[in-house]
Structure 1
Amino acid sequence: MEKQPRDSVHSCGYALPHEIGALYAPTADIDILVNIASVAHKYTFEKVESWAADLILAKLQSRTPQHPPDYDFLPMLDHAILADKIPLRDKVLNIVEDLVRTDKVDFPHLLLFADGKSHESWRDLLGLALYQYVIKGPRRWESDGNKLPREKRVLLFVAFGKLSDMRVSGVPWDHICPDAENCTTQFRERLINPYCSNGYVGGQADFVVWTRHVTAQYPPNPAVCLDNGVIAMQARARSLEDRPWTFFSELEW
């Protein structure tokens, strides 16, 4: 069964010039190149693999898009990671991350594709996708149908609840005042005060955007214990932006 793809890669060495040239054309099927690169990697045709990977990268760097608007980049990313093609990996990862942030990706498909993969790039992407999908809320998940298994849907609800709670409760911090309990209560009252939420346009569970809003409403002074609650929120928000997978991997549910 594997003889045919292996032979097809081997035949690249005997292809006619116009056949090779067709792969350089903007209209060329980029999936063909991904398949060539993947099979060449499997059978250690290093020169063919490098040629295919370099051509894919060149197409992605072109000013004119050379792939369909709804192109699935995940198999390409999978190959780039497995083959350790760092420039291609980074380029594809940037593309997919941008699609995630702009809501131009099939979230259930991405979450299932990346699930269980151990490479750091996959975990970073999975964390970003989970966060962006969670903050869209239950109505969005329901509109996408039952594409995800039950345990993944449970994870979405648990994360949504946790992030929503962090929004109104803040996160723990080291108090520099003599009454930590009262200070914490005051801080929570500040977060639910109508003045604090005035002008906020983000989602209920978008802790990152909410923290930016709170910081603008109450610019923190490190010498004031109450303000250190905002500083602690800023640190947690940075963590969610830089390493979102850590948040989801540590969730208890």
Structure 2
Amino acid sequence: MMSTASEVEEPSATRDPTYYIPDGNTVLLVENTLFKVHRSMLVKDKSAFDSMFSLEAYTEDTTSSSSLIPSTANAEGESDENPIRLQGDKAEEFSALLWSLYSLPSEIASAMSAHANDLQLINLARIAHKYQFRSTENWALNSLTAYHSSTVGSPSVQNLVQITELSILCDCKALLNAAVAKWKRLLGEGRAVAVAINVAERLNLRSLLGISYYQMMLKGREAWDSDPQLNARQRIRLLSGHYNLIKLCEELPSCPPRLVHDHSCIRKGKCKNAFAAFWKMTLTSKEGGLVGQVLKVQSADLLAKVMLAESIIRAYVEGNIPNLDLSESGEMHDKCLQIALRAAEDKVKEVQDNLVDLFSDVV
């Protein structure tokens, strides 16, 4: 005979192999795992458990009409049959919290080394935030930030998504910066581009969204159309961005960054014209020479072009290409040339900061 849905029993809970402590005095159920721990550990750091247990004690006190009436047997949290149920949590998260509360100093130290378990720290920070273990949350966030700021490699894409979400949840700008740096490294390798777009849109991360769309645009339309993680609106944004970037690249040689002359310069008009001609020369295709490198750049790759221009200007200012023919542009005052380099650097940053604006929903 088949059992009805109401007759099907939930799978029996299992005791956690590490944190079901025999002399513990509080039993908690998280998902399908039983934890038995010391209540004194859970009330550390003035956590939400402190308030919860205080309210529970007060309620029990006020509802007892007489000291002669025996207390209720098997109260919540005193046995496996009647545990405190934590809804919405994951067993691995609660295990990470207990790890932080019960660990030895050597175990804590390992979490701050190159051998750190970033997933454990992610779980710890998330549940510490929920239950208001403030010092534990800050420690986990700082450990994650230090780990991901110093390690060269990249975490798994799944972990990186969680790190990014966690940095927003906990409002940790340092961790967010470390996560965005990791994303940019992945994007530079052409990996997880669609994932980065979706994460940046969902979390409203402007700088990451711009470079993500840009990297996907460089992959070409065949890549956009075949990627199942992109929707129709996102493909329209890519088309719009491609059109806008082509237009800006065409205008770029004739639109040098604004040059602010040094106060000691008396050749203002000449320096301005010389810089405009120098800028145009770096961005105009010619056979051979440094400017010929632009032929290797995609027609819509605005960022690569302004970075190329900035690098050529820097190399000239630093004397690394002293024989560069500037007969068409003319000489510049030395201090104005330094200002021109800073203007080129600012142009690169301006393009990076405003990439997202080029990818609108309307072509």
TM-score band by shorter chain is 0.5 to 0.7
> Once the two structures are superposed, what CA deviation does each residue of 1:152-187 show, in whole Å capped at 9, x if it has no partner?
1121122112212332355997xxxxxxxxxxxxxx
Q: CA deviation at 1:146?
A: 2.4
The one of 189, 193, 207 aligned to 1:124:
207
Aligned length: 223
Does residue 248 of structure 2 align to residue 137 of structure 1? no
SS of the aligned residue for 2:219 comes to coil
- Structure with bigger gyration radius: 2
Give me the whole-angstrom Cα distance separating, in 2, the residues matched to 1:211 and 1:58: 32
Does residue 247 of structure 2 align to residue 165 of structure 1? yes
Q: Which has the higher contact order (CA 8 A, sep 6+)?
A: 1
Relative to the length of structure 2, the TM-score reads: 0.49
Please name the residue that 1:106 is paired with: 192
Q: CA deviation at 1:202?
A: 0.8
Structure 1 212/61 Cα, relative in aligned 2: closer, same or farther at 3 Å?
Answer: closer
> Once the two structures are superposed, what CA deviation does each residue of 1:2-57 show, in whole Å capped at 9, x if it has no partner?
25557445524542427656645644431111111112112221111112112222
Q: Structure 1 regions of 5+ residues with no counterpart? A: 174-189, 222-233
Please name the residue that 2:319 is paired with: none
The answer to whether the Cα contact below 8 Å between 1:137 and 1:160 also exists between their aligned partners in 2 is: no
Larger fraction in strand = 2
> Once the two structures are superposed, what CA deviation does each residue of 1:190-243 show, in whole Å capped at 9, x if it has no partner?
9x986498542111211233356679799878xxxxxxxxxxxx7876532233
Please name the residue that 1:41 is paired with: 129
Q: CA deviation at 1:62?
A: 4.2
Question: Among the aligned pairs, what percent are the same residue?
Answer: 19
Give me the whole-angstrom Cα distance separating, in 2, the residues matched to 1:116 and 1:128: 15
Does residue 359 of structure 2 align to residue 248 of structure 1? yes
Larger fraction in helix = 1
SS of the aligned residue for 1:75 comes to helix
Does residue 309 of structure 2 align to residue 209 of structure 1? no
Deviates more, 1:108-117 or 1:203-212: 203-212
Relative to the length of structure 1, the TM-score reads: 0.67
The answer to whether the Cα contact below 8 Å between 2:157 and 2:192 also exists between their aligned partners in 1 is: no
Q: Structure 2 regions of 5+ residues with no counterpart? A: 1-86, 256-280, 313-324, 331-343
Structure 1 33/212 Cα, relative in aligned 2: closer, same or farther at 3 Å?
Answer: closer
Aligned partner letter, 1:124: S
The answer to whether the Cα contact below 8 Å between 2:238 and 2:359 also exists between their aligned partners in 1 is: no
Alignment of 1:74-93 (within 5 A): 74-93=161-180
Q: CA deviation at 1:127?
A: 0.9
SS of the aligned residue for 1:147 comes to coil
> Once the two structures are superposed, what CA deviation does each residue of 1:71-109 show, in whole Å capped at 9, x if it has no partner?
642321221233122332222222322332x22530011
Give me the whole-angstrom Cα distance separating, in 2, the residues matched to 1:152 and 1:98: 22
Please name the residue that 1:57 is paired with: 145
